[in-house]
Chains A and B, each alone.
Chain A
Amino acid sequence: MTLAVGGFRLNPISYLAFLVWTLGLVALLPDRSVGLLLVAVLGVGALSGGGGLRILARGRFWVTVVSIIVLSALLLGPRDVRLWVVPVSREGFLIGVWMAVRAVALMLAFAISLGALSIVETVRIFEAANLRGLGFALGVALNLGPVLRDAVEAAYHTIRLRGGFRRPIRAARLFLVTVIANALRYGDDVVKSATARAFDLEAKTDAAIAVGWADAVFLCVLVAGGAAILMLA
């Protein structure tokens, strides 16, 4: 991910630090100061190319945000105002707005950080942390997704067409056993392929993650900005 200003690059660790920074501030800040944090998160999102801010264009994101406010107005506090025919709570509405701002800041931070991280970079982080096996498992798991979905569908339709769901508990057990057994069989095929290619988990790879001056500046700005927001709170 390249920052638009100056075109310098941040490494994945910086984005993870940004995520931890946001989580810490969300937990520490009182409601009235969360707006400042949201502005800071939006700023980082814009500087990092805007990819993480694409979540703002998703309908489901806004459905969640609006549902927080609406449900708060309906469920929290005394219902002292009528909105057409529905009694709602002003206090609940305000609580809902603050909850929504907090949730938006956190969801954006997650989207920005995860948007900046690719699976390849995540695997590299594991490898750099001397957890090559976990990185390898992650790569395999990612490619297994579609295969498992097919296995689940095939098992479901086979049991359904044979009338297995007339006895639901037995059918559920059969379904789970079939899906897991098929997944393990596929896993054995992957083991054979890896062995045939003489794959070695202990072999050294060039997985070092370079920390540049841009990362150092970014981390300093995070620390200073966090302190400033906490002082203003």
Chain B
Amino acid sequence: MAKSGWTVRDWIYVAVFGALWGVLEITLGSYLHVLFPPLADTFVVGLIMAGIGAIVALVGRWFVPKRWAVLAIGVVTTILKAFSLGGIVIGPMVAILAEALLMEFALWLRATPTRGLYILAGALAVSWNFFHKFIMMRILYGRSIVQVYTQMVKEGSKVLGIDVAYAVAIIVILFVFRLVVGGVAGWIGWDLGRLVGRRLARE
């Protein structure tokens, strides 16, 4: 990770946003994982936590306008999550790192971020939630892609009220829904960064 040109302030802001995301993961994330066990839920927890994480990391990028900043925030959050109390942290750790990497990838497209890039970064980050289930179910529980796909279609069918015969449509809707949530998170991240910046500038 590049460090040249980074000031002490940059790293402390990375710490601030890493800690914020970490506090939310450790408190809200753990609580939601107890309410919705990973095996039974393929949707809710990841979506909520990915959305919130994307907002925090993208606001952080506003205050640390350097490449790799979002990934650095993600690494700090991942390690804080690793050292948090409670048993099962593998899934969230992989998710946080992957989301940070995807956001960083989107923000690499231009030297100066724009609202559009923030929306893309948010959408990519939250879209990881879709693939995360397939990868983690394979690694952690040894389940095949077909099994996860079947469960996702069944749950999606129940939530959306669409017959399981339209499996592809259900999967596409679930994926697009994640993209939309991520896009909204990116939009909010952009606005919040600007609002906080203005508020601090007034003082």
Contact = CB atoms under 8 A, between A and B. Distances in A.
B86 interface: yes
Interface in B185-203: 192, 195-196, 199-200
Interface in B108-156: 138-143, 147, 151
A34 interface: yes
B142 A99 contact: yes
Contacts of A176: 55, 192
Contacts, number: 166
A207 interface: no
A34 B140 CA distance: 11
B203 to A, nearest CB: 8
Interface string A88-118: 0000000100110011001100110010000
Given A141-B22, A141-B76, A195-B8, A68 B87 contact: no
A148 B11 contact: no
Which bracket fits the contact residues of B? 35 or more
Interface of B is mostly: helix
Interface in A51-74: 55, 58, 60-61, 64, 67-68, 71-72
B100 interface: no
A142 B12 CA distance: 11
B139 A27 contact: yes
B161 interface: no
A23 B139 contact: yes
Which bracket fits the contact residues of A? 35 or more
Given A119-B83, A138-B15, 16 more contacts: A67-B37, A72-B39, A75-B151, A99-B141, A99-B143, A130-B3, A133-B3, A133-B14, A134-B11, A141-B16, A145-B22, A145-B23, A149-B23, A177-B195, A184-B63, A184-B200
Interface of B: 1, 3, 6, 8-20, 22-23, 27, 34, 37, 39-40, 55, 59, 63, 72, 75-76, 79-80, 82-83, 86-90, 138-143, 147, 151, 192, 195-196, 199-200
